[in-house]
Structure 1
């Protein structure tokens, strides 16, 4: 009786999980036929299918330039957020109970205020420095949004390193830099890479700061999509969405293959 009830509960749980996944995936799948529309309007199920808009998007200098700016600013923002987040995470882990709470509040502050406040403050800073319309200020503003996530992820990785391991490294004659590069960095590398990846995605998808700092020659991909939706609404938006989703799927598959290869190599070495 108990076993049958457990099977029924697991079946209901799996059905609910499948329903939630379907709700998340179906809107993305619906974009695929829309992207193959031969007309200049968005059609749910075009007849016939055509790759016209794929060719137009790939050959368009505006879309390529927007993608390049997004990749550049997101990469720099990710590096800045991960580097700053590591120092913030190290300070949080090493501080006492009261100091840790205050530091966490400071690191999480960009998430506690409306995003428009961060965008406005970045715009005012860029204007006062004479860097309005410069991609560097856009990347700095984007890094503020990824900093809290990066710091919390890296802090969780650093908490997993036992203090006795660090003491053992120092007692064996290792300097602080050697302990960091040979013990702390390898053991927290997974968290650092995860923080860098998430901060990159946050910066890449960021719109509000980019709208504040955008110029005719500096438009990121979200700004280009925003303008396309508001002023022309062609299947090009669906094409970009399909291409980005495909790139994300490829990245997830490569990550899983890398982890599988690492596990296999670890088992072979042992």
Structure 2
């Protein structure tokens, strides 16, 4: 017989969860509050209410160009990671590949490697072999660290998919291309979209790898924010960060509405 959890322990658990949530949300609240500050300097709580800094953020090329560059890199990374990760996951799950367990561990290994170690390795490699960094090098580095997210989500969807549907299509004479295009890929679509979304977020928010691979012409939005914070504490930085958080939140809601992230990660 399973005993119920004591009431004091349940209360303590809920209090602990609330404290963790406050610890995670408090910095975000400070940033958002500082973005509406009417004063010329970063301050919380805000001294007055102003939308001036949001207008400055949208008009200042210090942030708009890095934002467009980060958006471009993140979109290409998401598409590339979705394609590579999906093919890798299907190959492991649907084909008897020798050493599939080792291959899966290899595909997920970037998740266990510290970003700074990976960034140093990439920097040394491209410096010796290619003479320096470039936007394509940054994009390839982001694809390497984001492919595991797609592999994991697609494998999770395939594990819960109906194998008998594929067998029925094969018995009815469908070619391998028809089975993959009309049956397997549609079943994997929630995992592909969720993994691609995670790849987009990781690439768009990356600062460590971009810091090591940066050049005068290669400036991402996180690096632009960091650079401005280093030399000036303008509320425009908080406004840019708030807009970035809003963009991420809108993307999460859109993906949840389309595929339901809870079904993918459950």
Per-residue CA deviation, residues 169-195 of structure 1 (Å, 9 max, x unaligned), is: 111011111111111011110011000
Deviates further, 51-60 or 138-147: 51-60
For 1:18, the equivalent position in structure 2 comes to 18
Contact between 1:91 and 1:103, CA under 8 Å: does it hold in 2? no
Listed as ranges, the matches of 1:230-241 within 5 Å are 230-241=230-241
Per-residue CA deviation, residues 197-244 of structure 1 (Å, 9 max, x unaligned), is: 001111111112211221222200111112122222322221122112
Change (3 A) 1:14 1:114: closer
Partner secondary structure for residue 219 of structure 1: coil
Change (3 A) 1:135 1:93: same
Length-normalised TM-score, structure 1: 0.84
Residue 84 (1) aligns with residue 84 (2): yes
Deviates further, 22-31 or 147-156: 22-31
Aligned-partner Cα distance in 2 for 1:105–1:4:
38
Root-mean-square deviation (Å): 2.7
Contact between 2:194 and 2:255, CA under 8 Å: does it hold in 1? no
Aligned-partner Cα distance in 2 for 1:26–1:159:
38
For 2:102, the equivalent position in structure 1 comes to 102
Give, in angstroms, the shift of residue 122 of structure 1.
Answer: 2.7
Partner secondary structure for residue 42 of structure 1: coil
For 2:253, the equivalent position in structure 1 comes to 253
Change (3 A) 1:51 1:15: same
Aligned-partner Cα distance in 2 for 1:173–1:4:
54
Partner secondary structure for residue 44 of structure 2: coil
Aligned-partner Cα distance in 1 for 2:94–2:170:
17
Deviates further, 184-193 or 9-18: 9-18
Query: Unaligned regions of 5+ residues in structure 2, if any?
Result: 261-266
Partner secondary structure for residue 68 of structure 1: helix
Deviates further, 43-52 or 64-73: 43-52
Query: Unaligned regions of 5+ residues in structure 1, if any?
Result: 261-270
Contact between 1:92 and 1:99, CA under 8 Å: does it hold in 2? no
For 2:211, the equivalent position in structure 1 comes to 211
For 1:220, the equivalent position in structure 2 comes to 220
Aligned-partner Cα distance in 2 for 1:259–1:106:
28
Listed as ranges, the matches of 1:7-156 within 5 Å are 13-94=13-94, 99-127=99-127, 130=130, 132-156=132-156
Aligned-partner Cα distance in 2 for 1:202–1:145:
9
Contact between 2:35 and 2:239, CA under 8 Å: does it hold in 1? yes
Listed as ranges, the matches of 1:187-206 within 5 Å are 187-206=187-206
Give, in angstroms, the shift of residue 130 of structure 1.
Answer: 4.0
Per-residue CA deviation, residues 68-105 of structure 1 (Å, 9 max, x unaligned), is: 01101111111111111112212322465971221022
Residue 183 (1) aligns with residue 183 (2): yes
Aligned-partner Cα distance in 2 for 1:59–1:135:
24
Aligned length: 259
